[in-house]
């Protein structure tokens, strides 16, 4: 399949590399050139501009946030240059409002639009084991399906409205952030009573909370292993804000999301924004006092 790919952060590089390895023709673009050059050495074609990449059978974008999507021109200008019938698969975590705007802008120009955000960190992406939630016209999802099969272990179809996929992704990341904050606070609490993080997490992640999210993030918090970041704290803050905005728009109170926003904001304010978002545990430690 002829695939364009825009956005080569850690996740994007892993996904694009898998598509190249699977035999697809992949044109790649990124704002900084080193990731493009890296993928070109692995068989991808380097695109000089976003427009050069935004063509083919399917164009995939995995950009950081709403602002990056607008900067590239995906809310309008870039679409004017796209070939008729192109299917755009947006795999980034973006706002509900921008999702609606993108779906409308694509439809007005005869382009397919699929919101297909993913759950999984960089190592999961590299293994082709992402969980993908896809929403958009059935035919557009069908076009992209062979690519989803390379990228992930399972893809869920969530209907014709791309907003559904955006909402599921925002809700999922809100739950992840909540789990990480709970792990952080519980670990600090137990440490005040002489219980090591290792002991606490051995008990909890092998009994009440025997689930991948608790095991993975518990291990990072226990070892204070926040680098390299699998998902940066500044992006965690962005996603919590997306949840708050979505809740406000739908008149759904999310009181704990406000707690999370303040915790992540405090971490960013202390210079931890580029660390893994599990470094929010350091916020709990600072709040509890200097001896921790």
pLDDT digits (tens, 9 = 90+) for 120-132: 999 999 999 999 9
20 neighbors 26 (Cβ within 8 angstroms): yes
> Would you say residue 290 has pLDDT above 90?
no
Percent of the chain clearing pLDDT 70 (strictly above): 100
Q: What is the pLDDT of residue 87?
A: 98
Write out pLDDT tens, residues 143-197: 999 999 999 999 999 999 999 999 999 999 999 999 999 999 999 999 999 999 9
Closest of 37, 43, 48, 95 to residue 69, by C-alpha: 95
**Those residues with Cβ within 8 angstroms of residue 105's Cβ, 6 or more apart along the chain or in another chain:** 75, 76, 79
Residue 14: pLDDT band by 50, 70, 90 thresholds? Answer: very high
> Would you say residue 37 has pLDDT above 90?
yes
Closest of 35, 34, 5 to residue 20, by C-alpha: 5
Whether pTM exceeds 0.85:
yes
Rounded to an integer, what distance in angstroms lies between the CA atom of residue 97 and that of residue 273? 25
Rounded to an integer, what distance in angstroms lies between the CA atom of residue 67 and that of residue 44? 26
Structure tokens at 174: 């809100």
- CA angle at 144 for the pair 34 and 128, rounded to the nearest 5°: 55
103 neighbors 79 (Cβ within 8 angstroms): no
> Would you say residue 291 has pLDDT above 80?
no
Residue 292: pLDDT band by 50, 70, 90 thresholds? Answer: low
66 neighbors 93 (Cβ within 8 angstroms): no
For the question of residue 169 being annotated catalytic, the response is yes
Q: What is the pLDDT of residue 180?
A: 98
Q: What is the pLDDT of residue 244?
A: 98
Closest of 108, 66, 95 to residue 163, by C-alpha: 95
Q: What is the pLDDT of residue 121?
A: 93
Write out pLDDT tens, residues 57-114: 999 999 999 999 999 999 889 999 999 899 999 999 999 999 999 999 999 999 999 9
Rounded to an integer, what distance in angstroms lies between the CA atom of residue 63 and that of residue 212? 26
């Amino acid at each position: 399949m002829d695939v364009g790919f825009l956005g080569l952060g850690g996740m994007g590089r892993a996904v694009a590399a898998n598509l190249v390895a699977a035999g697809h023709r992949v044109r790649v673009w990124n704002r900084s050139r080193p990731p493009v050059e890296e993928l070109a050495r692995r068989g991808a074609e380097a695109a000089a501009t976003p427009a050069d990449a935004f063509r083919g059978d399917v164009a995939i974008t995995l950009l950081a946030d709403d602002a990056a999507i607008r900067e590239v021109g995906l809310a309008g200008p870039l679409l004017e240059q796209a070939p008729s019938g192109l299917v755009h698969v947006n795999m980034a975590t973006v706002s509900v409002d921008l999702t609606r705007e993108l779906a409308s802008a694509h439809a007005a120009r005869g382009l397919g639009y699929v919101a297909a955000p993913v759950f999984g960190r960089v190592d999961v992406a590299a293994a082709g084991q992402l969980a993908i939630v896809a929403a958009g016209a059935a035919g557009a999802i069908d076009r992209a399906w062979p690519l989803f099969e390379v990228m992930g272990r399972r893809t869920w179809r969530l209907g014709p409205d791309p907003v559904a996929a955006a909402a599921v992704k925002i809700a999922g990341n809100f739950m992840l952030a909540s789990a990480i904050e709970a792990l952080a606070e519980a670990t600090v609490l137990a440490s005040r009573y002489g219980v090591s993080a290792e002991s606490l997490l051995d008990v909890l992640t092998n009994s009440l909370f025997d689930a991948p999210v608790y095991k993975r993030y518990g291990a990072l918090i226990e070892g204070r292993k926040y680098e390299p970041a699998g998902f940066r704290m500044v992006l965690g803050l962005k996603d919590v804000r997306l949840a708050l905005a979505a809740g406000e728009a739908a008149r759904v109170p999310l009181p704990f999301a406000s707690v999370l926003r303040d915790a992540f904001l405090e971490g960013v304010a202390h210079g931890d924004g580029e660390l893994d978002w599990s470094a929010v545990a350091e916020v709990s430690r600072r709040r509890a006092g200097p001896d921790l």
